[in-house]
Amino acid sequence: MKSLTEWGGASLIELAERFGTPLYVFDEAELRRRCRRLVESVKKYDADVYYAGKAFLPLAMAQLVSSEGMGLDVVSLGELALALSAGISAGRIELHGNAKTEELLSRALRLGVGRIVVDSADELELLGRLAKNEKTPPKILLRVSPGIAAGAHHAIQTATDDCKFGFSPAQLVHAVKRAADLPVVLAGLHVHLGSQIDRLEPFFEGVQTMVDLLASLKNACGFEADEMDLGGGFAVRSPEGPLDAGDFIEKICLRAKSASSAAGLRLPRLSFEPGRWVSSPACVTVYRVQSVKETTSGRIYAALDGGMTDNPRPCLYGAPYSPVLVSSADERKEGTVTLAGCCCESGDVLVSDAVMPELRRGDLVALPDTGAYTYSMFMTYNGAFRPAVVFVSSGTARLVVRRWNEGDLLKDQLGLEGRQ
């Protein structure tokens, strides 16, 4: 695909004029199709699915995933507030995080959040202390880092021996015994291997390792898990083409079933937490080209009106994107162009050496597959305004997040005088 005119049935040129650029444009039908695929796949195995809000969570998205029957994984007071304003019942919320504050845990307890995924011995103690005042003890899972390296980049591998998340297998027996003495209900274990995993093998390895851990816990202290959350991490595509996370989930469930019965365990109720797979492919981000120039060394730069502030992924992980010209003008010659962001540093490049129709000032460029970890990782560097988010359904666009303006940047500033 070298050029694109529509997304979700709406003209991108019209949307850019109406809402400004940069602009995140989501095809709502695609979001819903993906949610439905996941819900359908877990139903077959009486498993459950929580959308990982960290991928993309404006209020509209929280409402959408909930209307499709998914639960929600949140990690902060902010995401919790979004979930609640979307009308999601506390029981359908799972709370994550490796550094939960007392304020966050107290709020979760007061609300009766469905699952708290405990990440450390310190958190377990704190939760135990806070839960003493609760009528109903919270349901918890213990997060484990079983020592598996899976994920497309070291920064998004989350289950290695050396990572900051969860309990090491060696700490588990103690944690399970300790939980039994506290006013909590230990429902089971949790693991999230990493992100952008495009093969089944790491998931199978994860399942086997977790089942082995459950078997050793049963031996060591008689603990039998009712639940096991296997996290998210499904890539959007594999080298063979688009990846169907629903198919992966079904195969993982089957594997978990056979591994459990081989170990003489009853199968815990499984759950999954995909983020990227749901939101990323449903979105294109549209930018306007502000200038095109050639350097002394012969590189052509097209400078866009956004960049690392609305999509830090190329800078953080070297994430590749395939830009397209928003136009039907396919008579243009092709050339090689580097899409530079507008921030004041040379590293702010969204795509290096892309081959695409030659660009001119005023053109619109779209970056497909930008619906995950872009809006949610937005930063205000260089005084950037957060772009608007538009959902398109059957060709009709609705603004679901308005674009920031000067007022949004100034509203928290108390000036030199400050406030005593």
Q: Residues comprising the binding site? A: 233, 273-276, 313, 317, 345, 373
Nearer to ligand LLP, 222 or 239 (CB): 239
Q: CA-CA distance, 305 to 308, in Å (whole number)?
A: 11
User: Which residue matches tokens 């009766």?
Assistant: 112
96 lies in the site for ligand LLP, by CB under 6 A? yes
Instruction: Name which of 52 and 356 has its Cβ closer to ligand LLP.
Output: 52
Given a contact cutoff of 8 angstroms between Cβ atoms, the answer to whether 157 and 136 are in contact is: no
- The span of 12-20, 37-45, 232-240, 298-306 binding ligand LLP (CB under 6 A) equals 232-240
**Min dist. Cβ of residue 378 to ligand LLP (A):** 12
Cis status, amide bond into 357, omega within 30 of 0: no
DSSP code per residue over 142-186: EEB--S---SSSGGGB-SSTT-SSSB-HHHHHHHHHHHHTTTSEE
Which letter does DSSP use for residue 375 in this model?
Answer: G
* 138 vs 151: CA distance, rounded Å: 31
- We find the least distance from the C-beta atom of residue 164 to ligand LLP, in angstroms, to be 11
Could you say whether residue 232 binds ligand LLP (CB under 6 A)? yes
Q: Which stretch binds ligand LLP (CB under 6 A): 24-32, 50-58, 259-267, 291-299?
A: 50-58
> Under 8 Å CB-to-CB from 186, ≥6 apart: which residues?
140, 141, 142, 176, 179, 180, 223
Binding mask 366-385 for ligand LLP (x = CB under 6 A): ------xx------------
Q: How many CB atoms lie within 10 A of CB 84?
A: 16
Number of residues that bind ligand LLP (CB under 6 A): 22
User: Of 282, 191, 188, which Cα lies nearest the Cα of 233?
Assistant: 191
Is 158 in contact with 151 (CB distance < 8 Å)?
Answer: yes
Using the minimum distance from each CB to ligand LLP, give the nearer residue, 144 or 384: 144
Relative to beta strand 364-368, strand 324-326 is: antiparallel
**Residue 344 annotated to the active site:** yes
Residue-wise burial string across 13-31, b where 16 or more C-beta atoms lie within 10 A, e elsewhere: eebbeebebbbbbbbbebb
Rank residues 350 and 364 by Cβ distance to ligand LLP and give the closer one. 350
Annotated binding residues for substrate, written as ranges, equal 276, 313, 317, 345, 373
Query: Which of the stretches 36-44, 84-92, 217-225, 228-236 binds ligand LLP when contact is defined by CB under 6 A?
Result: 228-236
Select from 47-55, 174-182, 205-213, 236-244 the region that touches ligand LLP (CB under 6 A): 47-55
The one among 53, 114, 274, 314 contacting ligand LLP by CB under 6 A: 274
Residues 6+ apart with CB under 8 A from 208: 255, 259
167 scored as a contact of ligand LLP (CB under 6 A) = no
Burial of 310 (0-12, 13-18, 19+ CB in 10 A): buried
Pairing relation of β-strands 93-95 and 71-74?
A: parallel
How many angstroms separate the CA atoms of 25 and 399, rounded?
Answer: 9
Distance (Å, rounded) from C-alpha 6 to C-alpha 13? 8
User: Which listed residue (231, 323, 341, 368) binds ligand LLP by CB under 6 A?
Assistant: 231
Binding site for pyridoxal 5'-phosphate, by residue number, is 233, 273-276, 373
By CB under 6 A, tell whether 23 contacts ligand LLP: no
When asked if residue 271 is in the footprint of ligand LLP (CB under 6 A), the reply is no
Closer CB to ligand LLP, residue 279 or residue 327?
A: 279
Per the residue annotation, which of 163, 315, 342, 344 is the catalytic one? 344
Instruction: Tell me which H or E stretch contains 204.
Output: helix 200-221
Site string for ligand LLP, 185-214 (x = CB under 6 A): -------x--x-------------------
Interface stretch with ligand LLP, choices 102-110, 218-226, 273-281, 322-330 (CB under 6 A) = 273-281
- In the complex, the smallest distance separating the C-beta of residue 69 from ligand LLP, rounded to whole angstroms, is 18
**Neighbour count for residue 11 (Cβ, 10 Å):** 16
Nearer to ligand LLP, 13 or 163 (CB): 163
- 223 or 277: CB nearest ligand LLP: 277
288 lines the binding site for ligand LLP (CB under 6 A): no
Q: Which residues would be at the binding site for ligand LLP (CB under 6 A)?
A: 52, 54-55, 73, 96, 156, 158, 192, 195, 231-234, 273-277, 313, 317, 372-373
Return the active site residues: 344
